C-alpha cells in the first residue's frame, strides 16, 4: 500500500522562489505559511484585546492614533477579537500549521495526500483573513454583533453601525474560511488513512496524529454547517428571505421579515461552535500528551485510554451544543438533556488529566521550555475544566450565563491552554523546522511571565463573573452593581499589559533564533517519533528517498535493557530486544 501511494503522490522538488515559498505544494512550507498567518493574526487579536481592556478601565481615555472608543467601536473590537482568535489563530496554528507540517512526517509520508488542495486551502484561508480585516475599513466599520453573530442583530442592516457592509464582509470571511477548513480536513483524513508508512498501524500513531485526525473529522462535519448558516444569513440580509428573522421593528420601522427563527441561527452556529472548541483544544491535548511523555522519559500513561478519550470527546462534542442556549428560550427539558451530556464530556477530559499526571508520576522530568508549556497547559486545563461543570448546569447558568465567569472559563481552556499548546509546539519543533534551537533563557522567562500573567488576567474574572459583571458591556459606569468591581478590572488590565508585553520576548526569540540560534542536532530532545529520524530541516520528500518502516509504538522511553532511554519507532521492536537481552 505505502509504496504505491508514495509513487503516485510524490512530486518533484520545486524550482524558483514562487513555486518554493509562495505557491508551494510542500506541506512543510504550507504549514509554515499557516503558522505565520496565525502569528500575524494573534498579534492583531491581542492588540484589539488591549484596546478593549484600556477602554473598560478608562472609558474616556483617548487612544493615540485612534481617538475615543465609541460604544459601537468597542463592540467591533470584541467581535473582531473573537473572530480572529477563534478562526485564524486557534483553528489555524495547531491544525493548519503544525498539523500540516508534522502529520505527514510523523506517519512516514512524503507529503499530504492532495498537495494542490493543501495549497488551495491555505490561500483560501488567507483570503478569508484579508476579507475580515477589510471590515475595519469600510463605512460603518466592523460589525458589532459579537463572534457568535446572533440573529436578528447580525441579520438586520438597520440594527446598528457595522451591520452594513462590515457585517457582510464578516460573514463572507467566515464562509471563505469554512471552505478552506473543509479542504484541509479532507486532506488530513485521507492522508492519515492512506499514507501511513509500513508498520505505522493506527495504534502506533503518536497522539498528536490521533488528535489532528479526529480534529479533521470534527472540522469536516462542523464547518459545512457553519458555511450553510452563513449563506442563509447573507440571504436574509440581501435576498429578502426570513430564515432567522421573524416580524421585527427596529426603531419603530418594520423590517419586512416574517416567520423566521432567531433560535435556528443559534442551533446552526453552536452545532459548529461547540465542536470548534474541541477543534481548538484537541491538537494541544495530543501535543501535550506527547511532550509529557518525551520529557518525563516515560511511556504515556494509558495510550489506549487516551485514544478512546480523544474519540469520545470528538463524538460527544457534537451532542452538547445546546448548553450554549440554556437561557435562549429553548425547551427546558431539552436543555437538561444537553446538560447531562455536557457533564458526560467532562469524563474523557478528566481521564486525560489523570493520565497526564500518571505520565509525570515516577518519571525523570526534564524541564526544557516545551515541557514547561506542556505542564502549564495541564494546570490551565484543570482550571478551565472545573469551571465548565458550573456552566454546564442550567440551574447555575441562570446566574452565570453571559457573565465574566464564562469569559474566564473559555479563555483559560480554549484560549490560553490552546495557546500554551501552540507555544509548546513552537519551542519543541522549532529546531526541526529551522535547524536551530530557540534561546532557552528567554523561553523560560517567556513561560513564567505568560503563565503567571494568564492567571492574573483570567482568575479574577471568575470572581467578577460571580459578582454579576456582564460581558460585552462597553462601559461599567451605568449599572450600579458593577461599580464595585472597578478595582479588580484595573488589576486585570495591568496584568494584560505585562502579559502582552512579554509576548515580545517570544517574538524576538523566534526571529533571532531563526538566524542566530545554536545549530540543532537531528534529534535534540531525544524523542522517538519519525520527524526525529530525518534531517534537520527535513528534505523536500521528508525522508530523502528512504521510506521508513515502523516497529514500535511512539512512546518507548526508559525501556529496561535498551541501550539508550528512548527507542525510535524505526528501531528493532522492543519485544525482540527484550528477548535478546533475556529480560522479563
Partner 1 sequence: MGLVLLAVIWLITLIGSYFIVAKTWWLPVGASAAAASIDHHFTVSYILMGGVFILAQLALGWFVWKYRDRGAAAAESAHYSHGNTTLEAVWTVLTIVLFVGLNLASHSIWAAERIDPAQPGAVQVEVTGMQFAWYFRYAGPDGKFGATRPELEDASLGGAGALGLDSNDPASKDDVITGVMVVPVNREIEVILRSHDVIHSFFVPAMRFKQDAVPGLAIHMHFTPIQTGEFELACAELCGLGHYKMHGIVKVVSQEEFDKWLAEREAEKQ
Q: Find the binding residues for partner 1 in span 542-561 (CB under 8 A).
A: 555, 557-560
Minimum CB separation of residue 309 from partner 1 in Å reads 9
Q: Quick check: 396 binds partner 1 (CB under 8 A)?
A: yes
Contacts for 38 with CB less than 8 Å, ≥ 6 apart: 88, 89, 92, 93, 96, 97, 422
Contact by Cβ (8 Å): 149, 124? no
- At 178, list the grid cell: 469554512
Query: H helices of 258-297, where?
Result: 262-296
Phi, psi (degrees; rounded to nearest 5) at 477: -90, -20
Taking CB under 8 A as the criterion, the residue among 68, 518, 565, 576 binding partner 1 is 565
Q: Quick check: 254 binds partner 1 (CB under 8 A)?
A: yes
Minimum CB separation of residue 1 from partner 1 in Å reads 28
Q: How far apart are CA 57 and CA 496, in angstroms?
A: 12
- At 476, list the grid cell: 461599567
Minimum CB separation of residue 355 from partner 1 in Å reads 7
- Sole window of 176-184, 251-259, 277-285, 518-526 interacting with partner 1 (rule: CB under 8 A): 251-259
Minimum CB separation of residue 320 from partner 1 in Å reads 12
Taking CB under 8 A as the criterion, the residue among 32, 156, 437, 520 binding partner 1 is 156
Is the peptide bond preceding residue 340 cis, with omega within 30 degrees of 0? no
Q: Quick check: 442 binds partner 1 (CB under 8 A)?
A: no
Contact by Cβ (8 Å): 579, 561? no
Query: H helices of 297-360, where?
Result: 303-316, 332-360
Q: Quick check: 401 binds partner 1 (CB under 8 A)?
A: yes
Minimum CB distance to partner 1 smaller for 367 or for 546: 367
Minimum CB separation of residue 13 from partner 1 in Å reads 40
- Sole window of 102-110, 169-177, 207-215, 473-481 interacting with partner 1 (rule: CB under 8 A): 473-481
Taking CB under 8 A as the criterion, the residue among 15, 60, 139, 333 binding partner 1 is 333
Minimum CB distance to partner 1 smaller for 70 or for 581: 70
Q: How far apart are CA 179 and CA 175, in angstroms?
A: 6
User: What is the DSSP code (8-state) at residue 557?
Assistant: B
Tell me which residues in 364-393 interact with partner 1 (CB under 8 A).
Answer: 364-367, 372, 375, 378-379, 382-383, 386-387, 389-390, 392-393
Tell me which residues in 487-526 interact with partner 1 (CB under 8 A).
Answer: 488
Contact by Cβ (8 Å): 209, 215? no
Is the peptide bond preceding residue 537 cis, with omega within 30 degrees of 0? yes
Q: Quick check: 347 binds partner 1 (CB under 8 A)?
A: yes
User: What is the DSSP code (8-state) at residue 247?
Assistant: S
Taking CB under 8 A as the criterion, the residue among 1, 22, 327, 501 binding partner 1 is 327
Q: Quick check: 202 binds partner 1 (CB under 8 A)?
A: no
Q: Quick check: 205 binds partner 1 (CB under 8 A)?
A: no
Tell me which residues in 113-152 interact with partner 1 (CB under 8 A).
Answer: 144-146, 150, 152
For the chain, the residue count is 584
- At 408, list the grid cell: 474566564
Q: Quick check: 570 binds partner 1 (CB under 8 A)?
A: no
In sequence order, what DSSP letters do the residues of 75-117 get, joined into one string?
Answer: HHHHHHHHHIIIIIIITIIIIIIIIHHHHHHHTT-SS-S-HHH
Minimum CB separation of residue 64 from partner 1 in Å reads 24
Say how many Å lie between the first and final Cα of the chain, rounded. 35
User: Applying CB under 8 A, what is the total number of residues that bind partner 1?
Assistant: 113
Tell me which residues in 51-80 interact with partner 1 (CB under 8 A).
Answer: 70-72, 75
Taking CB under 8 A as the criterion, the residue among 67, 139, 478, 545 binding partner 1 is 478
Q: How far apart are CA 10 and CA 111, in angstroms?
A: 7
Minimum CB separation of residue 46 from partner 1 in Å reads 22
Minimum CB distance to partner 1 smaller for 278 or for 473: 473
Minimum CB separation of residue 301 from partner 1 in Å reads 5
User: What is the DSSP code (8-state) at residue 135?
Assistant: G
Q: How far apart are CA 366 and CA 361, in angstroms?
A: 13
Minimum CB distance to partner 1 smaller for 163 or for 276: 163
Q: Quick check: 270 binds partner 1 (CB under 8 A)?
A: no
Contact by Cβ (8 Å): 448, 505? no
Query: H helices of 435-543, where?
Result: 440-466, 486-516
Minimum CB separation of residue 463 from partner 1 in Å reads 4
Amino acid at each position: 500500500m505505502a509504496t504505491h501511494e508514495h509513487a503516485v503522490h510524490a512530486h518533484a522538488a520545486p524550482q524558483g522562489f514562487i513555486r518554493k515559498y509562495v505557491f508551494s505544494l510542500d506541506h512543510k512550507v504550507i504549514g509554515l505559511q499557516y503558522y505565520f498567518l496565525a502569528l500575524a493574526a494573534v498579534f492583531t487579536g491581542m492588540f484589539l484585546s488591549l484596546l478593549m481592556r484600556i477602554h473598560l478601565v478608562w472609558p474616556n481615555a483617548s487612544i493615540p492614533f485612534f481617538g475615543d472608543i465609541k460604544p459601537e467601536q468597542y463592540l467591533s473590537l470584541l467581535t473582531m477579537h473573537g473572530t480572529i482568535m477563534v478562526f485564524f489563530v486557534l483553528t489555524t496554528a495547531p491544525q493548519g500549521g503544525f498539523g500540516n507540517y508534522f502529520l505527514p512526517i510523523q506517519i512516514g509520508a512524503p507529503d499530504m495526500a492532495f498537495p494542490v488542495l493543501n495549497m488551495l486551502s491555505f490561500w483560501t484561508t488567507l483570503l478569508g483573513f484579508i476579507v475580515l480585516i477589510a471590515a475595519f475599513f469600510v463605512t460603518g466599520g466592523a460589525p458589532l454583533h459579537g463572534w457568535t453573530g446572533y440573529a436578528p442583530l447580525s441579520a438586520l442592516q438597520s440594527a446598528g453601525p457595522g451591520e452594513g457592509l462590515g457585517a457582510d464582509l464578516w460573514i463572507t470571511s467566515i464562509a471563505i474560511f469554512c471552505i478552506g477548513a473543509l479542504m484541509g480536513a479532507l486532506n488530513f483524513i485521507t492522508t492519515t488513512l492512506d499514507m501511513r508508512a509500513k508498520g505505522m498501524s493506527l495504534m502506533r500513531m503518536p497522539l498528536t496524529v490521533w488528535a489532528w485526525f479526529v480534529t479533521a473529522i470534527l472540522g469536516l462535519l462542523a464547518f459545512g454547517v457553519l458555511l450553510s448558516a452563513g449563506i442563509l444569513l447573507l440571504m436574509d440580509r440581501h435576498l429578502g428571505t426570513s430564515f432567522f428573522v421573524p416580524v421585527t421593528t427596529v426603531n419603530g420601522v418594520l423590517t419586512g421579515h416574517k416567520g423566521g427563527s432567531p433560535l435556528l441561527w443559534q442551533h446552526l452556529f453552536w452545532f459548529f461552535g461547540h465542536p470548534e472548541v474541541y477543534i481548538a483544544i484537541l491538537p494541544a491535548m495530543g501535543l501535550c500528551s506527547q511532550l509529557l511523555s518525551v520529557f518525563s522519559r516515560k511511556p504515556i500513561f494509558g495510550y489506549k485510554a487516551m485514544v478512546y478519550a480523544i474519540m469520545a470527546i470528538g463524538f460527544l462534542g457534537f451532542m452538547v451544543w445546546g448548553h450554549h442556549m440554556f437561557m435562549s428560550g429553548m425547551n427546558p427539558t431539552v436543555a437538561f438533556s444537553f446538560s447531562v451530556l455536557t457533564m458526560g464530556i467532562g469524563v474523557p477530559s478528566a481521564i486525560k488529566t489523570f493520565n497526564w499526571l500518571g505520565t509525570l508520576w515516577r518519571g525523570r522530568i526534564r524541564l526544557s521550555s516545551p515541557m514547561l508549556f506542556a505542564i502549564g497547559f495541564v494546570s490551565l486545563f484543570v482550571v478551565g475544566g472545573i469551571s465548565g461543570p458550573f456552566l454546564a448546569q442550567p440551574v447555575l447558568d441562570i446566574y452565570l450565563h453571559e457573565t465574566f465567569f464564562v469569559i474566564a472559563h473559555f479563555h483559560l481552556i480554549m484560549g490560553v491552554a490552546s495557546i500554551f499548546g501552540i507555544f509548546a509546539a513552537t519551542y519543541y519543533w522549532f529546531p526541526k523546522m529551522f535547524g536551530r534551537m530557540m534561546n532557552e533563557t528567554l523561553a523560560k522567562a517567556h513561560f513564567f511571565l505568560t503563565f503567571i500573567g494568564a492567571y492574573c488576567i483570567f482568575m479574577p474574572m471568575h470572581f467578577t463573573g460571580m459578582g454579576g459583571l456582564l460581558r460585552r458591556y462597553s462601559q461599567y459606569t451605568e449599572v450600579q452593581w458593577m461599580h464595585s468591581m472597578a478595582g479588580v478590572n484595573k488589576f486585570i488590565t495591568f496584568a494584560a499589559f505585562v502579559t502582552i508585553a512579554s509576548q515580545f520576548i517570544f517574538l524576538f526569540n523566534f526571529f533571532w533564533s531563526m538566524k542566530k540560534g545554536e545549530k540543532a542536532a537531528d534529534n535534540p530532545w531525544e524523542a522517538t517519533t519519525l520527524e526525529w529520524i530525518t534531517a534537520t530541516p527535513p528534505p523536500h520528500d521528508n525522508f530523502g528517498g528512504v521510506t521508513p518502516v515502523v516497529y514500535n509504538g511512539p512512546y518507548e522511553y526508559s525501556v529496561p535493557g535498551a541501550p539508550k532511554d528512548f527507542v525510535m519507532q524505526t528501531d528493532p521492536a522492543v519485544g525482540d530486544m527484550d528477548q535478546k537481552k533475556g529480560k522479563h
